[in-house]
A and B are shown apart, each in its own frame.
Chain A
């Protein structure tokens, strides 16, 4: 079945540094990637949607200069949290779709802690 690999699973970084999270579709072509953020014991908040080769579409209230999304190929999308601050600490999850048979496949998530 469809598999999405997300790395790293956990990362701790210092305030002011940048962190990159990768999301790879291993056995299908992900024409669309979705990036979510999840706060403790809360639901998933969609941050942005990206289509391969196009600029990401950000949800209202999400800072596009802070959360840089790149979807340069059909198998790889990255989320870079720039100049991270403690309030950016959260669980980030990607989801990929080929727009056809596989539906939505989620990565295993990345726990980001900014100290």
Chain B
């Protein structure tokens, strides 16, 4: 079945450092790909998404490109802030329409001043 693999955390960075969180997927067909962010004690917020190959999703300085050839959707940000500290989940939705989301295990990001 469909699956998502993302790097283990925590990822610890200093403020203004460059961030990469790796995400790869296995799916049949052409899934949509998502990054969600979860702050402590809260639900998930959509950070960005891409629905077809070579699409780039971007939001709040974060971006990720849908790479079909490498089945990847790595999350990047050029300069992280303390407020970016959270857990980041990569997810996919397979098939047509809005099917269930399959999540990766999440990566905790800790940014220090």
Residues of A within 8 A of B (CB): 6, 32, 34, 41-44, 46, 49, 93, 95, 97, 99, 103-109, 111
Query: Judging by beta carbons under 8 Å apart, are B49 and A103 in contact?
Result: yes
Query: Judging by beta carbons under 8 Å apart, are B101 and A95 in contact?
Result: yes
* CB closest chain-A residue, reference B51: A103
* CB closest chain-B residue, reference A105: B46
Query: Judging by beta carbons under 8 Å apart, are A44 and B98 in contact?
Result: no
Also in contact, A104 and B98, with CB within 8 A (given A44-B89, A111-B41): yes
Number of residue pairs A-B, CB distance < 8 angstroms: 48
| Measured CA separation A106–B44 after assembly (Å) | 6
* CB closest chain-A residue, reference B97: A99
Q: List 18 A-B contacts (CB under 8 A).
A: A32-B98, A34-B100, A41-B108, A43-B89, A43-B104, A43-B105, A46-B101, A95-B101, A103-B46, A103-B49, A104-B101, A105-B46, A106-B44, A106-B46, A107-B43, A108-B42, A109-B42, A109-B43
* CB closest chain-A residue, reference B10: A41
| Measured CA separation A49–B93 after assembly (Å) | 14
* Interchain nearest-CB distance for B99 vs A (Å): 9
| Measured CA separation A34–B99 after assembly (Å) | 10
Q: Provide the residues of chain A in CB contact with B98, threshold 8 Å.
A: 32, 97, 99, 103-104
| Measured CA separation A111–B43 after assembly (Å) | 11
Q: Beta-carbon contacts of B29-45 to A below 8 Å, as 1s and 0s? A: 00000101000011111
| Measured CA separation A33–B88 after assembly (Å) | 22
Give 4 closest A-B pairs by Cβ, nearest first.
A106-B43, A108-B43, A97-B98, A106-B44
Q: Provide the residues of chain A in CB contact with B101, threshold 8 Å.
A: 34, 44, 46, 95, 104
Say if the beta carbon of B66 comes within 8 Å of chain A. no
